[in-house]
Amino acid sequence: DSSGLYFTNYYNSTSSYTMCAVVKLFHYTLATGDCREVDLNWDRYAPMFRDLLRPTPTGFVIQLVDGARYKWARFTGSGGAWKRDWLQGDAPGNIQSFDLSRDGNTMGYSHSTAAQPPRFYLARLKGNQILKKQEVMDIQSPLFKKPLARTEIRTWKGALGETVEGILYYPYNYQAGKTYPLVVMIHGGPNAADMDRFDDDFFTPGHLYCERGVFILKPNYHGSSNYGIAFGESIAGRYYEYEIPDIEAGVDMLISEGKVDKEQLGVIGHSNGSILGIGLIVHSNRFKAAVLSAGDVNWTSDYGNCSFGVAFDNYYMGGAPWQKLDEYIKKSPLFQMEKVTTPTLIWHGDKDRAVPYSQGWEFYRALQVIGKAPVRFISLPGEEHVPKVLAHQRRVLKEQIAWFEKYLFNAYTPGNESLKKES
């Protein structure tokens, strides 16, 4: 009714940098100028990267984060007297996006899981009850004809004894009692999270790998968002120290359960996922193949070349290179590359400044000169941090599949890379 407005703001407890934060909600009353935080009564707060709030005549409906799923709530009241009711019906934890009629009684929304592509619905919203839903369109029907993996949310004990959560994708036609290869797909950020939603793309094509008889694990390691500010801030000044053990523990859990062949482990990561993937192959020789894109190896050179290097490096390394030189050297994988034996495919956009393009060359040059690990570097001309050109996206997808077929799946057919058959 235009009497006020809602807005969100980042919050963290230790720093002015927003590399790690939660999102708080506020209300501003136009007539009085009164501005106050809305008590969501939820210590994980609202989503970092979406603005999923819709006003109603008596309050608002909002998406709150809860690890790998969401919590949807209807708030009624005003000022300091808000009442929260969780939405009920149709697995609200897997509602990914929505809109609401002005009277607050009709909602349109998408619904998906990691195993099922989105479907789109219209429903009545009576109080906190989702009623009389009907599917209104089916714009991705071809996907439902493809082999789709079974998925589940798994938990295990992480580096600090806390619960770490992740999404596990099963091999297509999985048979209990058999062991399968595992590819760990690590999200970027680090203050982001893998969710129980359909999220395949050209550099983390989970279902495509599952179709080839592979487990996929997407771990939400320490530093991830959606688990509260303490979990997110835990790696400030302790970068790598908790995330690597978190990921290793998830892998060990699946091996101990008899699901995964410990001799067939691979890792994929982009951005911070690549940074941690590089950390894994420095830390251990257990991974037989890696595809690591746009990841840092040298924090001393990242500081000046990354577009947000001061914020990122000061926050996660605990200060500038001249203040924390020993820390920068110790945490930079470049100075430990002689440990790496994992065959590694690297790709990087040559206009990237989120993770400077030069980092890809430093990574490649070290592995190439040391000579203990097969390495290949794909440079994508004109691309920034995430490739936008379809031909480059297809190239990345085809190259990574070929790399894993050669070094992990043992399904590689040698050919002449210099000459196409039909040429």
For 248-306, the pLDDT digits (tens) are 999 999 999 999 999 999 999 999 999 999 999 999 999 999 999 999 999 999 999 99
pLDDT at 416: 75
At what angle are helices 272-283 and 243-256 packed, to 10 degrees? 70
Band the pLDDT of 50: cuts 50, 70, 90: low
Averaged pLDDT for residues 99-116: 91
Mean pLDDT of the chain: 92
Q: What is the DSSP string of 266-302?
A: EEEEETHHHHHHHHHHHH-S-EEEEEEES--S-HHHH
This prediction has a pTM of 0.93
Radius of gyration of the chain (CA): 23
**How many C-beta atoms lie closer than 10 Å to residue 71's C-beta?**
18
> Is the predicted pLDDT of residue 137 greater than 90, yes or no?
no
Among residues 80, 2, 11, which one has the least CA distance to residue 40? 80
Note the pLDDT tens digit of each residue in 327-371: 999 999 999 999 999 999 999 999 999 999 999 999 999 999 999
Q: Are the beta carbons of 356 and 306 closer than 8 angstroms?
A: yes
User: For strand 129-137 and strand 116-126, is the pairing parallel, antiparallel, or unpaired?
Assistant: antiparallel
DSSP 88: B
